[in-house]
Structure 1
Amino acid sequence: MTRPLTPANKTQGRINWTWQDALLILAIVSLIVAIVRTASQFRGAFNPEFTISTDISALPGYTALTLLRMGLAYFFSLGFTLIYAYSAYRSRMAERILIPLLDILQSIPVLSFLPGVVLALLSLFPGRRIGVEIASVLLIFTGMTWNMTFSFYQSLCSIPQELLEASRVYRLNLWQRFWTLELPSGVIGLVWNSVMSVAGGWFFLIAIESFTLGNKDFRLPGLGSFLGTAANKGDFKAILWGSAVLIAVIVAIDYFVWRPLIAWAEKFKLEMVESENVPESWVLDVLRRSPSLRILSDRIFHPLQRVLDDSLVRSFPVRSAPVNAKGDLHLPGLLNWVFVSGFTLIVLWGTWEALLLLRTLGWADWQQVIKGAVFTALRVIVALLLSLLWTVPVGVAIGRNPRLARVLQPLVQIAASYPATALFPVLLLALSRMAGGLEIGSVALMMLGTMWYILFNVIAGAQSIPSDLMEAAWVYKLTLVQRWRILILPAIFPYLITGIITAVGGAWNASIVSEYVTFQGQVRTAEGLGATISHATATGNFSLLLAATTVMSLLVVTTNRLVWRPLYKLAQDKYQLLI
């Protein structure tokens, strides 16, 4: 169990350097050098005839390139999450536009972004690899950011009213309220959804690092393209080595990044009684006791933080603090008008261009899209129901039992992060022997892209249940069924709905790689909207791609508006934690 830093064990007075400090400094310097050297490769010329090597010696360099893309995409996702969700929370005008827009954005499959993003960036950087690299980072970003944004917005809307009232009593200004109340309220959800976001980035890695657009191939050296090339060749030795490296990377990230963050986030839990079993991290203990980090913190970071705090406190006087529970931030009338009119012009221009492109489609194309939407919708429903059956009990078990979490968390992250398309050679051999083949087997493939969103949100919800409420359940001798009905399900309900919203979007997105599979030069498909999108992307049929993407987005948004949003509102109104 992690011990508090009392004067008895806290490094004070004389600096006692240890081997951990030397190792920490060496690791930081090595990481900076590796990032700089890897980033320097992004500036090279782009070679469309580039061949991905499946030789084992290429794995270290490919892995470094993939990690850099993933890291950049994650930090962009985190910044976008904080700004976007906070804007929607603080301004009712922004909320009416940003939240429906978020539904639309998270419903658009990754492959639908490919043509526009890649062609636009290639025109900005003709003949340069940096254009394709930026495109790949942006596409990984689109697979990461939506569930983080939904989670942070849900956390902000679920802040107990008593704490909001206290912030007004103590006259906290805009910055103080964000830093001391609003940001801490979303830390646990952000950490667990960050785990899921990175896993989602790994899931689509093969499709992002190696894809076809019309008659052109776009390949980037990386771990995803290595696995994709090996799977397409049926090179099981290369698949095994690539999988081993991927698993090792996931385990290392879990040990050095996610476990310390999960243990650190425990201090933001709202509870009156300290939990007996808390997440532990040896890495976090080393960082907390490091003399070198303490010197940097005392002499650099703390003074900079005080200067930043003072300047922001002066920039946002107390009168700018909100006056209602929602935290509505009233923007100037001119700014509101510019925002709304600019957004309206963009929507009208995009709609006109889309109509011009859709005019070229015939009735047979629309029949294909509508029929495919029905088949994919049925698979999404089945995948969601099957996912709920096991993710809720397992997520609660992991979230409430740190010892179990230490064992299962790395395994869950490996399973969630592993690109399903790399498993297709093995899965296709099994599916070919099933009745229905890929038509039914695509549901199993689709579950690999949807169930993890529910699981990680349920884990975050279970972990955020105050320990004193669990103690009260034991004191009153509630049965297992009563604990689930009275405490656990109401407590995790907001997180569960957030997970379902992102899981449904993830299931529709996963259909593009589940219903259209390339294996050893042969294409195998299952009738559905995902297969239509993949085929349209591969052949460069932009009109059909736009039609299928539009129908998919409308289905996701309509479901969110009519089903999940009312449940989301119920979660905010009825199942908000009161202290």
Structure 2
Amino acid sequence: MNQKAGNRTSPGVLALLLVLLVFLIWTIFRHSARFHPVPVGGTDLASLPGDLARSVLRLFAAYFISLVFAYVYGLLTALTRWGEKILLPLLDILQSIPVLGFFPAVIFLLIHLFRNPLEGVELASVILIATSMAWNMAFAVFESIRTAPVEYKELLDGMQAPGWLRLVYFLVPVTIPKMVYNSILSWAQGWYFLIACEMISMGSVHYRLRGLGSFLVVSTSSGKILDALAGIVLLVVTVVLMDFFLFRPVVVWSQRFSIDQSASLAGETRSVFREWLMESDVLALPRRLLSSSLTAGMAGLYALLRRLPKTFPAGPDGHGRGMFRWVSPVLGMVSLFLLSILGYSGVESMKRALASGVPWDGLSELPLDMIYSMLRLLAGYLLSLCWTVPVAWYVFVHPRLMRTVMPVAQVMASVPATALFPFIIVLVVRTTHSMNLASILLLLSGMQWYLLFNLLAGAGTFPNELREAALTMGVRGRLFLRKIFLPFLFPSIVTGSITAFGGGWNALIVSEYVVYDQKNYSVRGIGAFLDKVTYGSGNEILIVVSLLMLTVVVVTLNRFFWTPLYERVTSRYGLDG
């Protein structure tokens, strides 16, 4: 997420956002604790296909919500004066909160708004899945717009193009390639956290939905390895089929919107299914009907847009921010009203909670828990780096392997860590008697794929001209790797490292506390601490403080380590630097 490098938010704004976030979480926890559990559904092997269908529908619904959020939030962040100062750091904070941190919000705001608890739980599950998808996609919109060539912006400025024209013919198309790529990552994240989102718990409140995620967690916690293996196989088959019939055709389609057509691996991706759809005589009539319908629809939309007032000039910096000028005062007034209510409720809730006693014993454990978790994250990161860089180099040398490596990596990234519990416990814990090693291996499942995807993307953009120039000068083999390829890949390594650590922070909740065969396996760390207080005691003070500590650590690392490192790497090794 190299967009973070441009974040110049002051510490005061970050501190204010953190305080408001604490009030929000605290208020929701205090209110959600008043409700009582309503059990939902069960699971068995015979219903596995139906469970899979339910999970896929939830994922599609969550993706649609994430897509709408990503474009609205991403456009506001990129095109408004207050976007980078407020919305971007807020997005940075939100993505650092584990899925568990959103449990009280959905319990309070969604589940209990419905007379039928099942409807509320279904909606809550979809929203929770969306929290694992949306942030990544919003960053894609922001980065695509901010890194778009200046010539296009200047051309639209010279034409005095209205806001809707900028949106339809520039802002949306320029985001499509990165949005498609990040959507695949978001789907993998959705599969990964499906288990947590179908098993919603906080203290004495427990909900379980029928779905593949809940099936896997029930089978692993009860020690049914064959059932868990059947669920994993079905998950892998589903991901492979979706890649063949959905993702790969969309990736090929998105290449037409790519601005840089000179990348060394560009054009290597192909879709047999899409080629069959486009060339089949049997589908000629449906294709014509669909094409004419889309043409008529676009013509109607174009006519509607032309009637809109053309009073949305570009902003003073040429980024088209003026089209959102009317949004700022409206959002400002609404936000001020909501924050006033939120602040008052948060202060009152905090007073009542503190009056009931502060769990000092639990709070005193948090700093050391955080240190242990950071050490495991560092170990997992180094292990990830050790194998992803060689793979990226090998794929760069043999470009055709991209067609195989990307789908395989996508499948592997989609397997939830909880589904690996039986194999990790049997092969590692019971053999080496080390839960620390098992925890690091589980962390790998949440970190390594971010690195691999970013490194493959970086290798795929290596310019042909640079490679040909190096070969002409006799730079080959290890010399080429050391002097040209690795320096070119450094920005992608840093970007992948940022996203890998982001995934690692979230993966802590499923890697430090494991339930298998009705036994608990845990190590000391912030993830295990959050698991125990969220699923066990439900103590709102411990949950809020642990989430706050986690958020502060993540934001501090991003601001004072990753951002300066990225700026230094891009200025020294970037093609424009």
Shorter-chain TM range is: 0.7 to 0.9
Cα distance change, pair 566–126 in 1 and its aligned pair in 2 (3 A): farther
* Residues in 1 aligned to 2:161 and 2:243: alpha-carbon distance in whole angstroms: 36
Cα distance change, pair 123–274 in 1 and its aligned pair in 2 (3 A): closer
Residue 132 (1) aligns with residue 124 (2):
no
Q: Which moved more, 1:425-434 or 1:140-149?
A: 425-434
Match of 2:276 in 1: 286
SS at match of 1:186: helix
Identity %: 35
CA contact (8 A) 1:400 1:463 kept: no
* Residues in 2 aligned to 1:353 and 1:250: alpha-carbon distance in whole angstroms: 47
Match of 1:381 in 2: 378
After TM superposition, list the pairs within 5 Å mapping 1:157-176 onto structure 2. Answer: 157-176=146-165
Give the alignment partner of residue 69 of structure 2, picking from 80, 88, 93.
80
Match of 1:430 in 2: 427
Match of 1:549 in 2: 547
* Residues in 2 aligned to 1:385 and 1:196: alpha-carbon distance in whole angstroms: 21
Give the alignment partner of residue 348 of structure 1, picking from 333, 343, 348.
343
Deviation at 1:260, TM superposition (A): 0.8
Q: Which moved more, 1:560-569 or 1:234-243?
A: 560-569
Which amino acid is 2:402 matched to? A
Match of 2:406 in 1: 409
Give the alignment partner of residue 499 of structure 2, picking from 493, 498, 502.
502
Residue 526 (1) aligns with residue 528 (2):
no
Cα distance change, pair 241–272 in 1 and its aligned pair in 2 (3 A): closer
Deviation at 1:427, TM superposition (A): 0.4
Which amino acid is 2:273 matched to? V
* Residues in 1 aligned to 2:363 and 2:513: alpha-carbon distance in whole angstroms: 19
Match of 1:566 in 2: 564
SS at match of 1:217: strand
Match of 1:441 in 2: 438
* Residues in 2 aligned to 1:166 and 1:573: alpha-carbon distance in whole angstroms: 27
Residue 453 (1) aligns with residue 450 (2):
yes
Cα distance change, pair 168–213 in 1 and its aligned pair in 2 (3 A): same
SS at match of 1:523: strand
C-alpha deviations, 1:341-368, integer Å up to 9, x for none? 3475366347536744763423222111
Deviation at 1:548, TM superposition (A): 0.9
Match of 2:508 in 1: 511
SS at match of 1:524: strand
CA contact (8 A) 1:80 1:145 kept: yes
CA contact (8 A) 1:375 1:527 kept: yes
SS at match of 1:92: coil
* Residues in 2 aligned to 1:568 and 1:347: alpha-carbon distance in whole angstroms: 36
Cα distance change, pair 546–47 in 1 and its aligned pair in 2 (3 A): closer
SS at match of 2:41: coil
Give the alignment partner of residue 51 of structure 1, picking from 42, 50, 54.
42
Residue 311 (1) aligns with residue 304 (2):
yes
Q: Which moved more, 1:186-195 or 1:457-466?
A: 457-466
SS at match of 1:303: helix
Deviation at 1:172, TM superposition (A): 3.4
SS at match of 1:454: helix
Match of 1:321 in 2: 314
Which amino acid is 1:546 matched to? V
CA contact (8 A) 1:449 1:507 kept: yes
After TM superposition, list the pairs within 5 Å mapping 1:63-462 onto structure 2. Answer: 63-271=52-260, 278-289=268-279, 290-315=283-308, 317=310, 320-329=313-322, 331-332=325-326, 334-335=329-330, 337-338=332-333, 341-342=336-337, 344-345=339-340, 348-349=343-344, 352=347, 355-356=350-351, 359=354, 360-395=357-392, 398=395, 403-433=400-430, 437-462=434-459
Which amino acid is 1:299 matched to? S
Which amino acid is 2:174 matched to? S
Runs (5+) with no aligned partner, structure 2: 1-36
Deviation at 1:206, TM superposition (A): 1.7
* Residues in 2 aligned to 1:325 and 1:211: alpha-carbon distance in whole angstroms: 46
Deviation at 1:117, TM superposition (A): 1.0
Deviation at 1:296, TM superposition (A): 3.0
Cα distance change, pair 343–257 in 1 and its aligned pair in 2 (3 A): same
C-alpha deviations, 1:96-136, integer Å up to 9, x for none? 11111011111111112113312432211134311101111
C-alpha deviations, 1:254-301, integer Å up to 9, x for none? 101111122222223334659685211012213334423432344221
CA contact (8 A) 1:172 1:318 kept: no
Cα distance change, pair 363–89 in 1 and its aligned pair in 2 (3 A): same
* Residues in 1 aligned to 2:484 and 2:304: alpha-carbon distance in whole angstroms: 43
Deviation at 1:472, TM superposition (A): 4.5
Q: Which moved more, 1:186-195 or 1:106-115?
A: 186-195
* Residues in 2 aligned to 1:186 and 1:477: alpha-carbon distance in whole angstroms: 38
CA contact (8 A) 2:359 2:542 kept: no
* Residues in 1 aligned to 2:139 and 2:252: alpha-carbon distance in whole angstroms: 23
Q: Which moved more, 1:303-312 or 1:471-480?
A: 471-480
CA contact (8 A) 1:192 1:457 kept: no
Number of equivalent positions: 532
TM-score (normalizing by structure 2): 0.83
C-alpha deviations, 1:18-37, integer Å up to 9, x for none? xxxxxxxxxxxxxxxxxxxx
SS at match of 2:325: coil
* Residues in 1 aligned to 2:573 and 2:345: alpha-carbon distance in whole angstroms: 39
Which amino acid is 2:151 matched to? E
Deviation at 1:325, TM superposition (A): 4.8
C-alpha deviations, 1:476-534, integer Å up to 9, x for none? 55435665577655665555444333322211111111111111222111100000110
* Residues in 2 aligned to 1:436 and 1:322: alpha-carbon distance in whole angstroms: 62
CA contact (8 A) 2:163 2:312 kept: no
Cα distance change, pair 439–473 in 1 and its aligned pair in 2 (3 A): same
Q: Which moved more, 1:243-252 or 1:281-290?
A: 281-290
* Residues in 1 aligned to 2:566 and 2:466: alpha-carbon distance in whole angstroms: 23
TM-score (normalizing by structure 1): 0.83
C-alpha deviations, 1:306-334, integer Å up to 9, x for none? 23234335536376123425544362574
Which amino acid is 1:280 matched to? R
* Residues in 1 aligned to 2:407 and 2:393: alpha-carbon distance in whole angstroms: 16
C-alpha deviations, 1:234-256, integer Å up to 9, x for none? 11221222121111101101101
Q: Which moved more, 1:250-259 or 1:335-344?
A: 335-344
Which amino acid is 2:549 matched to? V
CA contact (8 A) 1:399 1:461 kept: no
* Residues in 1 aligned to 2:260 and 2:462: alpha-carbon distance in whole angstroms: 8
Which amino acid is 2:336 matched to? S
CA contact (8 A) 1:189 1:457 kept: no
* Residues in 1 aligned to 2:574 and 2:157: alpha-carbon distance in whole angstroms: 19
* Residues in 2 aligned to 1:481 and 1:432: alpha-carbon distance in whole angstroms: 39
Q: Which moved more, 1:548-557 or 1:321-330?
A: 321-330
Runs (5+) with no aligned partner, structure 1: 1-45
